[in-house]
Chains A and B, each alone.
Chain A
Amino acid sequence: DGGITQSPKYLFRKEGQNVTLSCEQNLNHDAMYWYRQDPGQGLRLIYYSQIVNDFQKGDIAEGYSVSREKKESFPLTVTSAQKNPTAFYLCASSIGGDRAYNEQFFGPGTRLTVL
């Protein structure tokens, strides 16, 4: 079955640590996205990539980094510079890079908690 996988489902981080969230898709989509979701809020864009080896900052990129070395993979690193990283992180992909008219397919998410 085609889809998006994220791992781990739950992640605990000590303050000062960097952690990496995995996102893999087998939909052959060009574009991939990372969103952050806080309780009672919508999804906010962290980073996006429209093509391999290229990515752009979203609305809340500070304290995060990404890479896109393969079409199917888009890992997100939450660095120690992110002051309030506890949140639900969602990875998504779409056929094309224009979210205005492309359906986004979401992974099941990773819940990150800072201890």
Chain B
Amino acid sequence: QQPVQSPQAVILREGEDAVINCSSSKALYSVHWYRQKHGEAPVFLMILLKGGEQKGHEKISASFNEKKQQSSLYLTASQLSYSGTYFCGTAWYDNFNKFYFGSGTKLNVKP
């Protein structure tokens, strides 16, 4: 039921790039991405609804593959402020009332 996120953790130097994946065994209706800094509330980043969709800002973007079973979050030229735990949340295509969060990917950006 819960989507699988990978990697579980990643350490970067400032300026490096990272990719975080979110996979499901079933086709998804939507994928949401959130970032949570330590001890704080998760903050919404973006939602993807269409297969093949790509969206986001310059340096933080995401894609949703054609089969709608995987989404990837791209962090480009990482900054210290990108540190935190990234969660994907997914709704199934055949029962979009079921919405589950992944276990998170901890990103640590170092100077």
Which of the residues B29, B42, B96, B97 comes within 8 Å of A90, measured between beta carbons? B42
Q: How far is the CB of A66 from chain B (nearest CB, A)?
A: 18
With a cutoff of 8 Å between Cβ atoms, the chain B residues found around residue A43 in the complex are 42, 87, 101
Number of B interface residues, CB 8 Å? Answer: 23
The reply to whether B44 and A103 form a contact with Cβ atoms under 8 Å apart is yes
The reply to whether A109 and B41 form a contact with Cβ atoms under 8 Å apart is yes
Does chain B have a CB within 8 A of A98?
A: yes
User: When each residue 1-20 of chain A gets 1 if its CB lies under 8 Å from chain B and 0 otherwise, what string results?
Assistant: 00010000000000000000
User: When each residue 90-102 of chain A gets 1 if its CB lies under 8 Å from chain B and 0 otherwise, what string results?
Assistant: 1000000011110
Q: Which residue of A lies closest to B29 (CB)?
A: A100
Q: How far is the CB of A2 from chain B (nearest CB, A)?
A: 14
Name the 8 nearest CB pairs between A and B, nearest first. Answer: A100-B91, A106-B41, A42-B101, A100-B96, A99-B99, A43-B101, A42-B103, A103-B44
Chain B interface (Cβ < 8 Å from any Cβ of A): 2, 29-30, 32, 39-44, 47, 49, 87, 89, 91, 96-97, 99-104
